[in-house]
């Protein structure tokens, strides 16, 4: 399919939770975006009414993009958001997101969310455009239900947990080519995954914390929805076992994952390597502005990928794979690395929104 035409006028968007770690990434990635322009920023009551530059403790290299520091933060509620805006990016905490995002969708907004609150809802796509672009078919059902209840036809689309995102980007070519029976993953997750200020320095310096609350449960279920099939009444989850152990390590950005897979069909090491190398998804076919090319980078060096060297591959949107080798317990094992606040959070939601536009859903 040919590249998608840009909209005649840029689409105005809002960012919910704009002062946090993920909110800041949205601001950075949307600066100069060819299709979208930031027109509203929201945060908690603590920050509402303040200028963004005063309320946010900016933590991304390069400073706050032009035009943002003077914008005033508005409440995260429908009446407070500029009437011309139809797309909202959500980076608010999971506990708050459930009610707030539903209320905004009921008011007619398209909400692209990072939060976990709605990820497993039957009628909400858990979306990675490289993996399951057809899952946007669920949106029609959400709109129908809202209209039947006398609400407006907004909707919610979610992106997965930052660790599931890169894991499933790497699993997708194997699932398509050989089928997956079982996956074991041990993660080494960056500090920025816990938001800002996140984990106390006294807890993580000279240390590894072998527990991240709620993380293993998400990594064990989200891949099954992502790799599932669209049916009339929702998604039929992939018949796949996933076992996860999550660890927090003293790295600023970039989640590393040690993965072992058991395949349904026989495949040689070269077959598996070629499946990674040749994979092209819908974002590459559509030429979406934020799509990395290639989406998966297969390293052959003995000691790559590494967070500090490889997390910005494809401007933080690519998934790096390396150390591919046979596994005596499973069939193959390899390392996966990806940027957690770019592709794993804000960049993932932005790519979702680009897919929605390309599919005529905005």
Q: Between the CA atoms of 353, 354, 357 and 359, what dihedral angle is there, to the nearest 10 degrees? A: -100
Residue with the shortest CB distance to ligand NAP = 20
When the beta carbons of 93 and 287 are compared against ligand NAP, the nearer one is: 93
- Residue 169 known to be catalytic: no
At a CB cut-off of 8 Å and minimum separation 6, what does 63 contact? none
Report which of 316, 322, 320 is spatially closest to residue 345, judged by C-alpha positions: 316
State the nearest-atom distance from the C-beta of 118 to ligand NAP, in Å.
Answer: 11
Nearer to ligand NAP, 157 or 263 (CB): 157
Q: Which of 296, 206, 195 has its CA nearest to residue 253?
A: 195
What CA–CA distance (Å, rounded) separates 244 from 233?
Answer: 29
| Total residues found in the chain within this entry | 362
Q: How far is the CB of 331 from ligand NAP (least distance, A)?
A: 30
Angle 153-289-89 (CA atoms, 0-180°, nearest 5)? 40
Q: Are 191 and 251 in contact (CB under 8 A)?
A: yes
Residue with Cβ nearer ligand NAP (58 or 330) = 58
Of 166, 255, 299, 339, the active-site residue reads 255
Q: Catalytic pick from 112, 135, 162, 175?
A: 162
Residue 344 touches ligand NAP, criterion: CB under 6 A: yes
CB 295, min distance to ligand NAP, A:
18
Q: Which stretch binds ligand NAP (CB under 6 A): 39-47, 120-128, 217-225, 282-290?
A: 39-47
Can residue 47 be called a binding residue for ligand NAP (CB under 6 A)?
yes
Q: Does 20 bind ligand NAP (CB under 6 A)?
A: yes
Q: Is 166 a catalytic residue?
A: no
Stretch of 64-72, 88-96, 130-138, 310-318 contacting ligand NAP, by CB under 6 A: 88-96
Q: Does 126 bind ligand NAP (CB under 6 A)?
A: no
Site for ligand NAP in 142-201 (CB under 6 A): 162, 192-193, 195-196
DSSP string, 145-204: HHHHTT----EEEE---HHHHHHHHHHHHHHHHH-EEEEEEEEEE-GGGG-SS-S-HHHH
> In whole angstroms, what is the distance from residue 343 CA to residue 169 CA?
10
Contact status: 358 vs ligand NAP (CB under 6 A): no
244 Ramachandran zone, left/alpha/beta (phi>0; psi -120 to 50):
beta
Question: 181-214: b or e for each residue (b if 16 or more CB lie within 10 Å)?
Answer: ebbbbebbbbbbbbbbebbeeeebeeeeeeebee
Q: Would you count residue 219 as binding ligand NAP (CB under 6 A)? A: no
Least separation in angstroms between CB 74 and ligand NAP: 10
Residues of this chain that bind ligand NAP (CB under 6 A)? 17-23, 43-44, 46-47, 76, 91-94, 96-97, 114-116, 162, 192-193, 195-196, 340-341, 344-345
Q: Which residues are catalytic?
A: 162, 255
């Amino acid at each position: 399919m040919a590249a998608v035409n840009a909209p005649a006028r840029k689409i105005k968007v809002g960012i919910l939770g704009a002062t946090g770690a993920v909110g800041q990434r949205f601001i950075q990635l949307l600066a100069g975006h060819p299709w979208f322009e930031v027109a509203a920023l929201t945060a908690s009551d603590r920050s509402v009414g303040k200028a963004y530059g005063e309320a946010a403790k900016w933590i991304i290299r390069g400073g706050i993009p032009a035009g943002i520091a003077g914008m005033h933060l508005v409440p995260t509620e429908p009446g407070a958001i500029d009437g011309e805006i139809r797309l909202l990016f959500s980076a608010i905490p999971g506990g708050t997101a459930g009610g707030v995002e539903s209320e905004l969708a009921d008011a007619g907004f398209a909400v692209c969310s990072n939060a976990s609150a709605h990820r497993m809802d039957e009628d909400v796509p858990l979306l990675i455009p490289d993996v399951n672009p057809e899952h946007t078919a669920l949106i029609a059902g959400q709109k129908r239900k809202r209209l039947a209840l006398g609400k407006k036809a907004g909707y919610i689309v979610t992106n997965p947990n930052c660790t599931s995102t890169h894991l499933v980007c790497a699993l997708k070519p194997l699932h398509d080519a050989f089928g997956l029976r079982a996956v074991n993953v041990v993660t080494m997750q960056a500090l920025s995954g816990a938001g800002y200020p996140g984990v106390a320095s006294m807890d993580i310096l000279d240390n590894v914390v072998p527990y991240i609350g709620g993380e293993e449960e998400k990594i064990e279920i989200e891949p099954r929805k992502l790799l599932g099939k669209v049916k009339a009444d929702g998604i039929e989850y992939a018949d796949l076992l996933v076992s996860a152990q999550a660890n927090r390590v003293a790295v600023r950005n970039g989640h590393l994952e040690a993965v072992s897979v058991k395949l349904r069909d026989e495949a040689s090491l070269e077959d598996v390597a070629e499946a990674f190398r040749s994979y092209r998804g819908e974002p590459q076919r559509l030429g979406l502005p934020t799509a990395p090319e290639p989406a998966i980078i297969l390293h052959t060096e003995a000691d790559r990928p590494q967070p500090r060297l490889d997390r910005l591959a494809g401007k933080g949107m690519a998934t790096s794979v390396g150390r591919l080798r046979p596994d005596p317990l499973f069939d193959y094992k390899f390392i996966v690395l990806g940027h957690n606040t770019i592709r794993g959070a804000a960049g993932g939601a932005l790519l979702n929104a680009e897919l929605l536009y390309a599919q005529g859903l905005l």
